[in-house]
C-alpha cells in the first residue's frame, strides 16, 4: 500500500497548460471542467511507497482532440512543455 497516491489532470490549450482536477487516493478535491479549447488532457500520476521514499512519476495521455492535426499538436507542445513541480 502506498503512502501517497495522487493524480493531477493537466489540459493543454493553445495558450498553455490549465490545471484540472486533483485526486488524492482516487478522491477528487474539486471537479474542474476541461476547457472548451483543450487539445489534450494528461494525468500526472505520483505514488510514493513510504514517507521518505522517492516519488514515482508517470504521465498518461487520457484524451486528445480530433479538431487539431498532429502537426498542430506538436507545435503547441513544443511551445508549452509539460508542467513540472
- C-alpha cell of residue 67: 479538431
Tell me the pTM. 0.88
Residues whose CB falls within 8 Å of the CB of residue 2, separated by 6 or more in sequence, listed in order: 47, 48, 49
Q: Distance (Å, rounded) from C-alpha 47 to C-alpha 36?
A: 30
Secondary structure element (H or E) that encloses residue 70, with its range: helix 70-79
Q: What is the pLDDT of residues 21-59, one digit of tens each?
A: 999 999 999 999 999 999 999 999 999 988 788 989 999
SS3 32: coil
Amino acid at each position: 500500500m502506498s503512502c501517497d497516491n495522487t493524480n493531477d489532470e493537466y489540459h493543454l490549450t493553445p495558450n498553455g497548460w490549465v490545471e484540472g482536477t486533483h485526486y488524492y487516493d482516487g478522491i477528487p478535491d474539486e471537479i474542474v471542467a476541461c476547457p472548451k479549447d483543450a487539445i489534450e488532457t494528461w494525468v500526472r500520476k505520483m505514488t510514493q511507497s513510504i514517507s521518505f521514499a522517492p516519488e514515482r512519476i508517470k504521465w498518461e495521455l487520457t484524451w486528445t482532440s480530433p479538431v487539431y492535426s498532429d502537426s498542430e499538436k506538436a507545435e503547441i507542445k513544443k511551445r508549452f512543455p509539460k508542467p513540472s513541480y
